[in-house]
Homo-oligomer: A and B are copies of this chain.
Amino acid sequence: MLYFIGLGLGDEKDITLRGLEAVKRCSHVYLESYTSLLGVDKAALERLYERPVQVAEREFVEERAEEMLDQAAPADAHVAFLVVGDPYGATTHTDLWLRAVERGIPVEVIHNASIMNAVAACGLQLYRFGEAVSLCFWTDTWRPDSYWAKIARNRAAGLHTLCLLDIKVREPSVESLARGRRVYEPPRFMSVAQAATQLLDIVAGRGGSGGVTDTAGVGPDTRCVGLARVGQTDQVVVYGQLADLANADVGPPLHSLVVPAADLHFHEQAVVDHYALRAAPTHAAAEGSAPATPTEKGD
């Protein structure tokens, strides 16, 4: 049996009872570690599970998954593959599911929250979200902006867009690849400020295609929503103009950004207004009813 277990978005306590029962049956426990980030380290998981957890880097999942499937294959075997968020959040996990099924290994998927549904915490209604997009880090020579067309299409249809922000974990450096021996870059996580800056660059004609023709009415004063550590106890949501978000510090990763539809439902507006970006001295954790008020950089 191979269990795909979603861990949710926060810490070790966001696993479901069903998930915990499953993991406690397992002889081998793998934690997928390259498509998202849990708010806690693996030692906390190990204490709760009362067994060791092996971090599965991208290479493991892509190159050595057969070992894991071999472990899960015997009739009495129980192996867990833990995924931050929901197990179906990434294509590689579906691939793994498929390989297990095709080998005749019983699989069980245990769902959990992911950013794809928890984004509604910002107050924008989930059924008004169009296609989600992914932003990747730009380099001096590579500034892709093809995702912009999707944001523009969503805006034209009166829909919000969830922007998933780039995660670079265990990326071998170009230099090291040239030398034939992998050395890894330090992990990088795109921030709300970096994402807002990228969007501003695009609408100002500084994207890779040399300028988009349809800005979809988006400019420096367009109010967007920045999210940090959704589902964690120190979650931050900020609603403010792109130009201000480009200077906002919402704390540690993971971050996401939402480009809302031009017109919000009054209900949506009432909620996001609670998260309006204000210059303030703290960016303390959201406590009870008081929305966190992140500082702007330099405050």
Interface positions of A (Cβ within 8 A of B): 1, 6, 8-10, 12-18, 20-21, 86, 88-89, 91, 94-95, 97-98, 100-101, 104-109, 111-114, 116-118, 120-121, 123, 125-132, 134, 153, 157, 159, 164, 231, 267, 270-271, 274, 287-289
How often does this chain occur in the complex, in copies? 2
Q: Which residues of B contact A9 (CB under 8 A)?
A: 111
Closest chain-B Cβ to A68's Cβ sits at a distance in Å of: 15
Q: Is the CB of B86 within 8 A of A118?
A: yes
Q: Is the CB of A111 within 8 A of B231?
A: yes
Which partner residue on chain B sits nearest A6 by CB separation?
A: B113
Q: Is the CB of A14 within 8 A of B16?
A: yes
Closest chain-B Cβ to A95's Cβ sits at a distance in Å of: 7
The secondary-structure label for the interface of chain A is mixed
Q: Is the CB of B132 within 8 A of A127?
A: yes
Give A289 to B101 CA distance when docked, in angstroms: 5
Q: Is the CB of B91 within 8 A of A125?
A: yes
Q: Which residues of B contact A20 (CB under 8 A)?
A: 17
Q: Is the CB of A15 within 8 A of B16?
A: yes
Closest chain-B Cβ to A10's Cβ sits at a distance in Å of: 7
24 A–B contacts, CB within 8 A, in A order: A8-B16, A8-B111, A10-B18, A13-B17, A13-B18, A14-B16, A14-B18, A15-B16, A16-B16, A17-B17, A86-B118, A88-B121, A88-B126, A94-B125, A98-B271, A101-B274, A105-B289, A112-B113, A113-B113, A113-B114, A114-B117, A116-B116, A130-B131, A153-B157
Q: Is the CB of B118 within 8 A of A88?
A: yes
Which partner residue on chain B sits nearest A133 by CB separation?
A: B127
Q: Is the CB of A98 within 8 A of B270?
A: yes
